[in-house]
Structure 1
């Protein structure tokens, strides 16, 4: 089997309802990139990458497509089932840009699953659960609005909520955390996520003011060094997210005893292949993780679900997907949809999601033998 064609599409993902607000940016739409790899025996594999706007991290949608354009010609003629070799070829073709490479890596796993008539989660070692928990992110809002959303989402079945803080006064953040805590029902977990929007002093003070409220404190400060400074100064477990940019960052954080858990984004560290390694590293360290991505449609969602289904025991904290914030699906026959706050592993071979290419229009780029 060999790659004979790679097609790339750009697609807009408007946000339904209110803007998505975080400490450092407010979003009303996202720009996603879809990749289709076609083999000489007719198997098609799909991948997707969708950075969370241009100011979330050093990744942006146009950059993803430019990087894929640089890489794609070097993959023609290669066997997509050899994912390790594909990743090496990508690294030889272009330094960095792990997020762009993640879409190609995803498509190769999709092809492998279809070739073996197996789901991606089966190729990753097997699903330990067929239904996985998701969690809902409550954007920056007033204490009353946040509490109202928390009540509604718990009624919909979510048992883990993520509350955004930062980018406003410390008193507002403390009031919001306290108000949401008042409406949490037994069994609901809370993560307070600053998305790097707090300084060290404010992070310490927020944790101290809310010391009687049970939550994990996710990515409070801008840099790894600032977060490391918080060690021993917080009343809550510290989780790292944005500063874990690759496997070396994950290993460093575990070696420094810098965190008690990780919000892992597959595109940020390079795709399914490297998330599989992150899963094993966290398992050996006995530290929980999520299996997420920054944003995206059904392809990203399916990949997150397949990965999450393979994380064992109490080390899995859930998979966040963008479905509650966007409208429509790439594959209306096999959509990745939330039911009672949970996500079912797609049943089909590969990712279990196949976009209708005819609905996407003409590719932005195509490469062929």
Structure 2
């Protein structure tokens, strides 16, 4: 089997709530999604997606995905997409860094591998470890009372895990955390995710002010060293996200005792091949994970579901269903939220079929 052509699609994904706000005044209203279609000489087609969280979150942005694909794509045509390590090596040789660009291709290769083996991807990633996965709901940064009110609404939809977007004004963030924890049951999970937004002195104030609450602290500061300093000042469970961008940083964090859990984003590390590597190391070393991505539609949500379902339940802190946040459907068969949970449908590969009328015409065709 060989890749004979690559089609690249661009799709805008507007938000149901209108706007998503996070640390330091950042916000997005419409997400810029890139969908990759790999075509093989066997007639099997594979799909992957990369949807960055705007241009100010990680070193990734929508037009950059497509520019990188134009560079990488010709280098993998003529090669077997099922040879995952070889495809990743060729991508790394063609373009240094930019893992987010490579993620959609890698996921599309997994989709082809699953279809050719007549198996869902979760089976290839280690087997189904849980029937469905518990989802968290991200609560966009707003006034404390509005965030608490939204949590109560989402609890009625079956969610029991919530990720507060903090990382703004420290005084307000303290109130946000207190008010939101107050409307939750003792069994509900609450994560205060600063998305690198606090300086060290602000983070120190916040963790001290909420020290008696049942809350996780996620990525309080911009650098690993700053986060480690705050980690040493609090007994609250601690999650690192943005700075854990590969195996080397995971190993460094393990050595330093820098976290209790990590946030594993598929496109941040370059796709399912490397995400599985990190996932397996976390399971081996006893580290829990939130398994997700930067953002996305149906294909991203499906990839998350497969990786999450193939992860032992005790190591899966939470996951998310990005396709429920948007107003546009780009594939049939994608996981759908039911009472705060989701699952892949068990069909081969990702289990998704593109809705070509929704995707439109490709913006880039490579032969």
TM-score, normalised by the number of residues in structure 2: 0.97
Question: How far has the Cα of 1:17 moved from its partner?
Answer: 2.2
Aligned residue pairs: how many? Answer: 366
Instruction: Look up the SS of the partner of 1:317 in the other structure.
Output: strand
Deviates more, 1:242-251 or 1:77-86: 242-251
Match of 1:87 in 2: 88
Counterparts of residues 289-328 of structure 1 (less than 5 Å): 289-328=289-328
Question: How far has the Cα of 1:244 moved from its partner?
Answer: 1.1
Question: How far has the Cα of 1:358 moved from its partner?
Answer: 4.3
* Structure 1 runs, 4 residues or longer, greater than 2 Å off: 356-359
2:299–2:331 Cα contact (<8 Å) kept: no
Question: How far has the Cα of 1:259 moved from its partner?
Answer: 0.8
Alpha-carbon distance between aligned partners in 2 of 1:18 and 1:30, rounded to the nearest angstrom: 11
Deviations 1:246-299, CA, capped at 9 Å, x for gaps: 221112111211111101100000100011101111012101001100111000
Is 1:200 aligned to 2:200, yes or no?
A: yes
Alpha-carbon distance between aligned partners in 2 of 1:167 and 1:173, rounded to the nearest angstrom: 7
Which runs of 5 or more residues in structure 1 are unaligned? none
Alpha-carbon distance between aligned partners in 2 of 1:319 and 1:105, rounded to the nearest angstrom: 20
Alpha-carbon distance between aligned partners in 1 of 2:68 and 2:144, rounded to the nearest angstrom: 42
Which runs of 5 or more residues in structure 2 are unaligned? none
Match of 2:163 in 1: 162
Match of 1:364 in 2: 363
2:8–2:36 Cα contact (<8 Å) kept: yes
Instruction: Look up the SS of the partner of 1:318 in the other structure.
Output: strand
Alpha-carbon distance between aligned partners in 1 of 2:109 and 2:225, rounded to the nearest angstrom: 36
Match of 2:110 in 1: 109
Deviates more, 1:11-20 or 1:77-86: 11-20
Match of 1:275 in 2: 275
Alpha-carbon distance between aligned partners in 2 of 1:321 and 1:198, rounded to the nearest angstrom: 27
2:14–2:328 Cα contact (<8 Å) kept: no
Match of 2:243 in 1: 243
Match of 1:254 in 2: 254
2:13–2:328 Cα contact (<8 Å) kept: no
Counterparts of residues 117-136 of structure 1 (less than 5 Å): 117-136=118-137
TM-score, normalised by the number of residues in structure 1: 0.97
Alpha-carbon distance between aligned partners in 1 of 2:88 and 2:18, rounded to the nearest angstrom: 39
Deviations 1:171-202, CA, capped at 9 Å, x for gaps: 11111111111110131111000001111111
Alignment root-mean-square deviation, CA: 1.1
1:196–1:219 Cα contact (<8 Å) kept: yes
